[in-house]
Amino acid sequence: MSNHPIFTIVFYGISSILDAFDGYAARKFNQGTRFGAVLDMVTDRCATSSLIVYLSVIYPKFTVVWQLLISLDLASHYIHMYAMLSAGSSSHKNVDQSQSKLLSLYYTNRKVLFVVCALNELFYIAIYLYYHKFFWLGLSVGAFSAPIWLFKQIANVVQLKSASLILARMDVEEHNKKLTVVEEFKKD
């Protein structure tokens, strides 16, 4: 990344295109699995985190911001995935409007999901390009993608909160069931 910005962008771009294609292919050929969904999310988080870690190297004044962005991304996606699967959903993308209108739009509309994910990645790439002497390209792409990047960060916060509430409700329900059993046992 430090010595070959063109190769980095080309390979990162190919990786992103293949990421979009594999999900499409899995749906088209009815080969979607829980393992595939988890693997897809994990590899996405690894790729984005790797780029952000490098941004913290080239922009050390913003290291805390980069760390917070990685933490938000990892935590919101992990907790969301865990909550959805724990609740019995076959996919983390099965989000209805009662959970969150924003997340429902994000996960159920494939075009919205694609555009948001692509522009989120482009924002980080733009910051990378800006540093590597592609000032105008980095600035242009960054300015264009920044509003969608911000939307993605808001979606991550909403996702984290929503998934945390799902898990908390499940914990309360489980606790209440245990109390009911104990109370019934005491009556007998």
Q: Catalytic residues, which ones?
A: 44
How many angstroms separate the Cα of 9 from the Cα of each of 29, 121, 133? Answer: 30, 11, 14
For tokens 């724990």, the residue is: 86
Nearest one of 43, 38, 52, 42 to 18, comparing CA atoms: 43
**19: Cα separation from own chain's centroid:** 13
Radius of gyration of the chain measured on its C-alpha atoms:
20
User: Which residues make Cβ contacts (< 8 Å) with residue 86, sequence separation at least 6?
Assistant: 166, 167, 170
- Is 63 in contact with 145 (CB distance < 8 Å)? no
Q: How many residues does the chain have?
A: 188
d(CA 150, CA 156): 10
For residue 75, the number of C-alpha atoms closer than 13 Å in the C-beta half-sphere is: 13
